[in-house]
Structures are given as C-alpha cells and as structure tokens.
Amino acid sequence: MEGKQIIRITETIRFVSITLIVYWLYDFLINRGIGITETYYWIILGVLALMIGVLLIIILNNQTNIYEAHTRNVRRERRIYVSIILIFPALAMFLFGADYCTKFRPKWLNFSQSEYYKDSQDIDEIIESKNKSDQDTFFIEDTVSILEKYKKSTTLLQPRKSGHEISWKESKFGGYPNMESFTAYPKCNVCKSSLNFVFQIYKRDFPEFYFPSNTNIFQLFRCPSNKCRSSYTNSRSDHKMFHYYSEVECVQNKIFKKTGINLKDIEKEVPDCYLKPLKVFDYPYYDDYKEEDLAKLDDNFKFKLGNLQIEKYITKPDTKIGGYPNFIQESYYPKCKCGRIKEFLFQLSSDDRENRNIFDYSNPVNWSDHGIMIGDGGNIYYYICTNCGEKSIESYWDCS
Ligand SMILES: [Zn+2]
Ligand SMILES: [Zn+2]
C-alpha cells in the first residue's frame, strides 16, 4: 500500500472518530446522556470496530510505509504516529462502549439475572426429568393444567441504578423527565410541593401497556412530603401519586425548576435507573384462584413440587406491567362505574432488586434501586377499565 493511500485512510478514520466524539459530547451536554437507541449503539460500535480493525491491519502490514510517509513531513517516531492514529477511534469506542454498558447492561456482564425467573415455558421438561411415581405424575399434570388456565404474561421493568444521567427521551426511573407537554413542573394539589418523578414509559418500548389514543408516554410522580395532608387520609399513610399521559415528539425538552420543596421532611428523589425489561409468565395471588382450583393446588404444591418449581408459579413481586397484582394483604379489585371489574394495569413495588436472596432490610435503599418505600415495604397497584379508558384509572396500595 502506498503512503498516500495510507494517509487518506487513516485521516478518514480519524475524521469519522472525531465526529463521533463531538456528537457524543454534544448529545451528552444536551441530553445529559446519549439519547440514541440500542440499534444505533450497535451500528456506531460496529463502525468503530471495523475502523480499528482496518487501522491495525494497515499498521501491521505497512510499518515501513507508514514510517516513510509521515516522517518526511512530520518528524515523529513511528510509535507516536501509531498512537495518534489510534487514539481517536479508541476514545470513541470507549465512550460509546461505556455508555452502552451502563445503559443496556449486556447479558454477558450479568449472569446472575438470567438464572432468576427462568421462563416457565419449560414446565413440562422439568417435571418429566424428576423421578416421580405414576400417582405423582398425575398430580403434577393436574397442577400444571390448573396453572395453565391462569397463566398471564407480565413485563418486569427491573429498574437498575445507572452510572450516569439517562436521557429524558428514554423509558426510565428517576432523573429528569420528559416535560414537553407540561407548562410548569407538576405539583401536589394538596401541599403544593413539586412532585418527585418516579418513572416514565414510552409506547414504543412498552406497546403492551395501556395508552389512550393520541398518547405515547405514561409518567408517574409522587408527592415527596412526609407531612402532606394527603398522606393521612383513612389512617393509612402513603404519599399521594400522580400520573400523566401525553403525546410527545422527543425533540426539545423543557427545563423547569422545582418549587416549594424547602420542606424538611421529604422523601429523597428517585435516582436515575435504566430499565431492564423482562417478559415472564405470572400467576395469581392465592386469593385470586377459584376455590376448587386452590384446594387442589394447595395439596399438590405442598407435597409434590420442589421449592424451585413453586418459585416459578409465584405472583411476581417486582415492579411490573400486566400479569397479576402481588397483594400483601387481601386481594382487591375495584369496580368501575360501568359495572365491570377493573383490570390490573401495573404495580410499583418497594421490594425490587437484582437479587432477592440477599436480605438486608436495614435501609430502604437496600430494598430497591429506585429507593421508594411504600408504607412498610408495600406495593402500589393501578387498575383500569379499558372500556371506560383513562379516567377510570385508580390506584390502591398495601403493605405488611
Ligand atoms: Zn402533597
Ligand atoms: Zn368502566
């Protein structure tokens, strides 16, 4: 390869890398976190890997040429030149790669999670693999057929703390929300303090969620004040929640200042958490099985299935959309004005972390990455009558 060609290629690669770095800086300063999707990360990382590959091949095959082509004008040692042509693509690779890892946490960085909540589709296989008598097999088939009737799909949101701020253009917990459709930062209608932002999900990411027509984002907020009067209604105390649906374009955000939060007794803001959605099957809380089914299940579960298998059929306790509410007290389904029983929409759980086998309940922060404590380790459940739409949405919460 000739010196001129080498220069052209290395200069082009350096130019592309610097452009990418400038874009990274621009997006980081504007969005405080790269507002691009996983696919674009793959494309950018792919291009960078390709360019670095080309550079390495050039360097290995044309050491003499590189030296000659560049020492003629620039009197630098080969080693310095080689590091100069490599430094920009390497830096770009590092910036985008680090962002990708903090945002999407690739599977290969996270083995423990994949073992948890193994999807229940392999029910039959596991049962067959156990040495059971005919009688046992009968019980188990019976159990599985009951469970199959109730099985529903659910999406666990799995909010996990992020290393940096996440763009308002993403579905996420905490940080700064998409404020496009607001005219001021939302306030509690009782105590007037600015709300804490809990989470937002976009329709493009969670089409299985309920979105009224002409809306593409759902946002949940919470009154931060422990002293708010709304907390003391019905002798039950939890913070008042607020939700909003709107249509947004994700082009330009509005930046509002929070007001009225010079209160002493307030809940901490939710830290930036990325979502790691996981679709699994969900099964009802025991109250929600029909009596005759529950009686059979009770016997079969107690005596025939191992603990591991029981784990599969639990009502998932995490923050999730769809599936079944994981009640802590009695089961509760409100009735709509139209006479229908409202459907379960989603639940926000205070007990929501990567590894449930680790018990350290000394501090609310250890219960979940989002840090919200509902009553005493409780859940908030949202319901909707899809027949009557958005206005029928209501929530309920319980705790131990
Ligand atoms: Zn309030
Ligand atoms: Zn209704």
CA 326: distance to chain centroid?
Answer: 19
Which ligand is nearest the CA of 335, by number?
A: 2
More confident residue, 230 or 370: 370
Residue 306 has pLDDT above 80, yes or no: no
Mean pLDDT of 27-55: 79
Determine contact, residues 223/239, Cβ cutoff 8 Å. Answer: yes
Percent of the chain predicted with pLDDT > 70:
76
Across 9-18, 205-214, 355-364, which has the greatest mean pLDDT?
205-214
Alpha carbon of 387 to ligand 1 centroid (Å):
31
Alpha carbon of 33 to ligand 2 centroid (Å):
40
pLDDT at position 178, please? 96
List the shell of residues around ion ligand 1, using CB closer than 5 Å.
188, 190-191, 223, 225, 228
pLDDT at position 374, please? 87
Alpha carbon of 388 to ligand 2 centroid (Å):
4
Alpha carbon of 285 to ligand 2 centroid (Å):
24
pLDDT at position 137, please? 62
Residue 40 has pLDDT above 50, yes or no: yes
Residue 368 has pLDDT above 60, yes or no: yes
Alpha carbon of 192 to ligand 1 centroid (Å):
6
Least confident piece of the model among 34-43, 63-72, 111-120, 191-200: 111-120
Which ligand is nearest the CA of 341, by number?
A: 2
Report d(CA 211, CA 46) in Å as an integer: 35
Which ligand is nearest the CA of 221, by number?
A: 1
Which ligand is nearest the CA of 342, by number?
A: 2
pLDDT tens across 271-295, in order?
Answer: 999 999 999 889 888 778 888 887 7
Alpha carbon of 338 to ligand 1 centroid (Å):
30
Which ligand is nearest the CA of 334, by number?
A: 2
Alpha carbon of 227 to ligand 1 centroid (Å):
8
Alpha carbon of 339 to ligand 2 centroid (Å):
6
Least confident piece of the model among 101-115, 298-312, 349-363, 385-399: 101-115
Mean pLDDT of 16-27: 88
Average pLDDT, the chain: 81
Residue 109: both structure tokens together: 């960085």
Which ligand is nearest the CA of 338, by number?
A: 2
pLDDT at position 346, please? 97
Which ligand is nearest the CA of 224, by number?
A: 1
Alpha carbon of 294 to ligand 2 centroid (Å):
29
pLDDT at position 91, please? 92
Which ligand is nearest the CA of 195, by number?
A: 1
pLDDT at position 174, please? 95
Mean pLDDT of 244-270: 85
Which ligand is nearest the CA of 238, by number?
A: 1
Residue 327 has pLDDT above 80, yes or no: yes
Handedness of CA 211, 214, 217, 219 (dihedral sign): negative
The 3-state secondary structure of the chain reads: CCHHHHHHHHHHHHHHHHHHHHHHHHHHHHHCCCCCCHHHHHHHHHHHHHHHHHHHHHHHHCHHHHHHHHHCCCCCCHHHHHHHHHHHHHHHHHHHHHHHHHHHCCHHHCHHHHHCCCCHHHHHHHHHHCCCCHHHHHHHHHHHHHHHHHCEEEEECCEEECCCCCCCCCCEECCCCCCCCCCCCCECCCCCCECEEEEEEECCCCCCCCCCCCCCEEEEEECCECCCHHHHHHHCCCCCEEEEEECCCCCCCCCCCCCCCCCCCECCCCCCEEECCEEEEECCCHHHCCHHHHHHHHHHHHHHCCHHHHHHCCCCCCCEECCCCCCCCCCCCCECCCCCECEEEEEEECCECCCCCCCCCCCHHHCECCCCCCCCCCEEEEEECCCCCHHHCEEEEECC
pLDDT at position 112, please? 43
Report d(CA 373, CA 220) in Å as an integer: 15
Would you place residue 82 in the very low, low, confident or very high pLDDT band (cuts 50, 70, 90)?
A: confident
Alpha carbon of 194 to ligand 1 centroid (Å):
8
pLDDT tens across 8-17, in order?
Answer: 888 899 899 9
Residue 321 has pLDDT above 90, yes or no: yes
Listing from the earlier edge strand, what are the strands of the sheet with 196-202?
Answer: 159-161, 273-275, 172-173, 196-202, 217-222, 241-246
Which ligand is nearest the CA of 232, by number?
A: 1
Which ligand is nearest the CA of 390, by number?
A: 2
Mean pLDDT of 11-33: 81
pLDDT tens across 193-203, in order?
Answer: 899 999 999 99
pLDDT at position 212, please? 95
Alpha carbon of 75 to ligand 2 centroid (Å):
79
Amino acid at 141: E
Least confident piece of the model among 130-139, 240-249, 387-396: 130-139
Alpha carbon of 336 to ligand 2 centroid (Å):
5
pLDDT at position 284, please? 87
Across 36-40, 114-118, 369-373, which has the greatest mean pLDDT?
369-373
